[in-house]
Amino acid sequence: MRKLAAAIALVFTFIAPSFAFAQLSAEDSGLNTTAVAAYGSDAVNDTNSNIGTFIGKYIIQPVIGLTGLIFLVLTVYAGMMWMTSAGDSKRIEKAKGILVASVVGAVIIASAYVIVNTVITSLTSPTTAVEDITNAADQNP
């Protein structure tokens, strides 16, 4: 009975969600049209125009995703260890330690991401905004 329940749980966890993925592209949603209207044709044609975009897209996002996956695996492992401890205080303490460490690690990673994102945004956005205002003023006297 436990094997049947585990098999059903695996099917609903890994196979069933794959049928729910939306097949939506940027062309279907009108995002390209909006990007061209707001930022010009370069916004659609040149998505990796600078090193910051490249690093954020191909290095930082996968690392954040990987840390989220590690957090999830450690949390599930600690929960299963706690639930199957059968009152053994050593296993419960070990599970608590793993759970606390995974939560602390996730908070540190999330905080680091927020801090870096805030600093980078504050360093790059004002210059761009001032240039946009100056260019708009020059075009519309």
Is 65 in the same domain as 125? yes
The closest of 72, 79, 113, 117 to 96, measured between CA atoms, is 79
Number of domains in the chain: 2
What domain range is 35 assigned to?
A: 1-47
Is 37 in the same domain as 18? yes
Is 97 in the same domain as 32? no
Q: DSSP letters of 4-32?
A: HHHHHHHIIIIIGGGGG-----HHHHTHH
Is 35 in the same domain as 61? no
Is 58 in the same domain as 108? yes
The pLDDT value given to residue 125 = 61
Q: Is 137 helix (H, G, I), strand (E, B) or coil?
A: helix
**To the nearest whole percent, how much of the chain has pLDDT over 90?**
31
Please report where in the chains the tokens 């966890």 appear, as a residue. Answer: 13
Is 39 in the same domain as 62? no
Is 26 in the same domain as 89? no
Low-confidence residues in the chain, pLDDT < 50: 26
Residue-wise pLDDT for 103-115, tens only, equals 999 999 999 888 8
